[in-house]
Chain A
Amino acid sequence: METALILTGLGSVFFASAPIVFAVIGETIAERAGVINLSINGMILLSAMGGFVVSFQTGSLFAGFLTGALIGALVAFIVAFSSITLKQSQVAVGFVLALTCRDLAYFLGNDYMGKGGPRLPAWDLPVLSDIPIVGPIFFHQDLITYISFLMIFLSWMWIFRTRPGLMLQGIGERPASAYVRGANVNLMRYAYTVLGGAIAGLAGPAYSLSVKAGWNGTISGLDGFGWIALAITIFGGWNPLRGAFGAYLFGLLQWLGLVLQPSLPNVPSQVLQVAPFPLMILTLFLVNIGSTEWVERTLAAMPESSRRFLTRALRALRASPPASLGVPFERE
C-alpha cells in the first residue's frame, strides 16, 4: 500500500514537471544557437491562457496545444527580430516581453477565470504500464507527458548526435567559424529561436489543459515557472538531459513540499511556495562559483591534496554557456 502510494507520487512528479521540461528544452535550443529568450515567464502564462481559451471555445484539445506553440513561436520571433535584425539588447526586449505577455494574459483571460473546460485524459500505455515499478511511474500518464519524455531524447540526439546539431552548437560557440563553413548564422538563429519558442510554448497548455486544468489568472500558480526554467537551463549546462534532470529534481522538491506541508502548520503556504527561489539561487551559485576569479586564485594557493578534491567537485558542478550567447553576429 505504502509503496503504491509512493510510486503514484513519483509518477505525479513526472506528470507535473512536463511544463518545466518543455520550457527548459525550448530555452536550451534557443540559447545553444546564441539567443537568450528572457520572455518565457510571461510567454508561458499567455500560452496557458490562450491554449485554454481556444480549447474551451473549439472543444479541440489539439487546437489548444497548437495555439500554445504558435504563441511561443510568435513571441520568440519578436525576440529574434529585435536582437538579430534590429541589434537591440536581448535582455531588454526579453524582459519587456516577459512583463507585457503576463499582463496581456491576465487582461485577455479575465472572462475565462475559473471556468471548467477540457482536460487531456489519462492514457495508460498498453503493455508498458503493466511493468512493475516502472509502469506506474512512467506509463500511467497523458499524451503530453509522453511527448515531454520523447522531446528530451529527441532534442539531445539532435544537438549532440546529428550534423545539423553540430552546426547548431557551432553558431552558438563560434559563429564566425560556422559562417566560413557555409552556415547562414542569422537565418539559423532565427529558426532555432522560433523552434525553441514553439517548444517552450507547449509548457502553457501542458499546464492549463493537463497539470492543473483551467485558467485562474494571478492565482494559477504558474507565474514564476519561466524564471525557474531559465535557471534550470543554466543548471543543465545547455544539455537537454541534464536540464530535464534539473526539472524533475525541482518537481520532486515541490512534491515533497506538498507532502510535508501538513506537518508544518506554522509555515504559511505562501512561504513554502517560494522555497524554489532560494534554491534556484543556491544551484546557480554552485554551478558558477568554480568559474569566479577569486575561487581560482584561492584554489591555486591551496595545498595539492585538498585542491585536487575541490577542483574536481567544482568542475563536476560547473556549466559554461555557449561562448557567443547573447552576442550578435555580424559579417565583417
Chain B
Amino acid sequence: MKHTTLNRIGFQFLALLLAFGIASLVLLAVGASPAQIYKDMFGSLGTKGKIADVLVSWAPLLLATAGLLITFAAGLWNIGVEGQITFGAIGTTLVLRLLQNSAMNAGFIIALSIFAGMLAGALWAALAGALKTFGGVNEIFGGLGLNFVATALTIYLVFGPWKRPGTGSMSGTQPFPEQFNLPLFEGLRLSPWALIVAVVGIVFVSFLLQGTYFGLRLKAVGKNFRAAYLLGIPTWQYMMFSFLLCGALSGAAGALQVTAVYHRLIPSISSGYGYLGLMVAMLVNYQAIAAIPVAFFFAALNIGSIQLPIVHKLDSSFSGVLQGLLVLFILLAEGARQRLTPKA
C-alpha cells in the first residue's frame, strides 16, 4: 500500500516536470526566457491584493468543480457547465433587475437573486439532462451546443432588452446600485460571502459523495450503468438529479460573478471557469477536498498570467497551455504507472 502511494507520487512528480518542460519549450519558441516568465508569474502574487484576486477566481472555480464532481461520479461529461454558469448569472441579473426598485431589504434581494441563479443553472442543466435521457443526445454535444446558446443569449440581452442607457456595449449592462453588491473585505475586491458559499459547496459535495448512501449509489451508476439498473437503482432519475445539483452549484458560481465580482451582466461572465473546472475535476478524481488546493493553484496561474501581455507582450492564454499540459501529463503518468507497475 505504502509502496503504491510513493510510486504514484513519483509518477506525478515526473508529470509535473514534463508539463513545465514542454511549457518552457513553448516559451522558448516565442523567444521568451522561461525562468523570467515563471518568476514574473508567481512573483506577481506576493501582495495581499493579488492573493485576494486569486481567491476571487478561486470561489467560482471551486463551485463549478464541486458540481462537476457530482456529474463525474454519475459517469457524465457535463461539458455544459460553462452555459450553466452563464445561465445562472442571467437568472441572478433578472431578479436583481426586477426587484432593485422595490421596497424590500437589499440583503434579502441579493439572497433571492443568488437562489434564482442556482435555479436557472439547474434549469439549463436539466435541459442537457433531458436531451441525454429522453433524446439520446450525448451530454457532450448537448451541453456544448447549450453553452454557445447561453453565450448568444447573454450578448443578445446586453445589446438588446438589457442594454445600458444609450447604446449597448461589450462592457455589459448598467452596474447595479451599491447596496446590491455583496460586501467586500476592506480595500480588496474579495467578498467573504463568496468564500463562504464556495467552501459550503465543496464540503457539501464531499460529504454527499463520501458519506451518504446516495453518493455510493450515484457512483455505482457511474461505474456500471447496467449493473446499477439491475440492482434496482433508478438510474435515469439519479443521472437527472446529478445534472440538477451540478447546475445549481455552477449557477451559484454565475450568481457570485454578478453579485460579488462584476455587479452586472457581461458577455463573458462565465470566464471559462466551467472548462477549467472540468480539468480540476479530472485531476482530483472523486477526492472533493483535494479540489480546494488544486483550484487555488489553477486560479493562481490565471491571475499570474495577467502580467504576460503587460510586461512581455505575450498572450495570457499561456496559463491555459500550462494547465492543459499539467492535466494531460498527469493522465498520461497515471496510465504509465498502471502499465509499468507489476500487478500484485
Contact = CB atoms under 8 A, between A and B. Distances in A.
B331 A82 contact: yes
A82 B335 contact: yes
Contacts of B140: 38, 91
B307 to A, nearest CB: 14
Given A96-B279, A284-B142, A292-B136, A88 B149 contact: no
A280 B136 contact: no
A13 interface: no
B315 A107 contact: yes
Dominant SS among interface residues on chain B: helix
B335 A268 contact: no
A236 B317 CA distance: 34
A230 B141 contact: yes
B327 to A, nearest CB: 5
A130 interface: no
A97 B159 contact: no
B184 interface: no
A216 B148 CA distance: 20
B180 to A, nearest CB: 27
A100 B324 contact: yes
Interface in A77-126: 78, 82, 85-89, 91-93, 95-97, 99-100, 102-104, 106-108, 110-111
B329 to A, nearest CB: 10
B331 A268 contact: no
A103 B320 contact: yes
Nearest to A294: B134
A87 B137 contact: no
Report the contact-size class of chain B (Cβ under 8 Å from the partner): 35 or more
Report the contact-size class of chain A (Cβ under 8 Å from the partner): 35 or more
A277 interface: yes
A224 B327 CA distance: 22
Interface in B281-316: 282, 314-315
B318 A284 contact: no
Dominant SS among interface residues on chain A: helix
B74 interface: no
Contacts of B336: 86
A57 interface: no
Given A107-B30, A268-B160, A281 B141 contact: yes
Interface stretch (B150-158, B240-248, B249-257): B150-158
B94 interface: no
A236 to B, nearest CB: 14
A97 B328 contact: yes
A234 B320 CA distance: 29
B321 interface: yes
Interface string B4-35: 00000000000000000000001001100000
A106 B316 CA distance: 9
B77 interface: yes
A86 B339 contact: yes
Contact of B324 (A86, A89, A99): A99
Contacts of A88: 331-332, 334-335
B338 interface: yes
10 contacts: A82-B332, A88-B335, A92-B282, A92-B331, A99-B279, A107-B321, A231-B141, A268-B160, A271-B155, A277-B148
Given A88-B331, A99-B324, 4 more contacts: A85-B339, A86-B332, A89-B331, A277-B146
Give the 7 A-B CB pairs with smallest separation, nearest first.
A86-B335, A100-B324, A103-B320, A288-B136, A274-B152, A277-B148, A277-B145
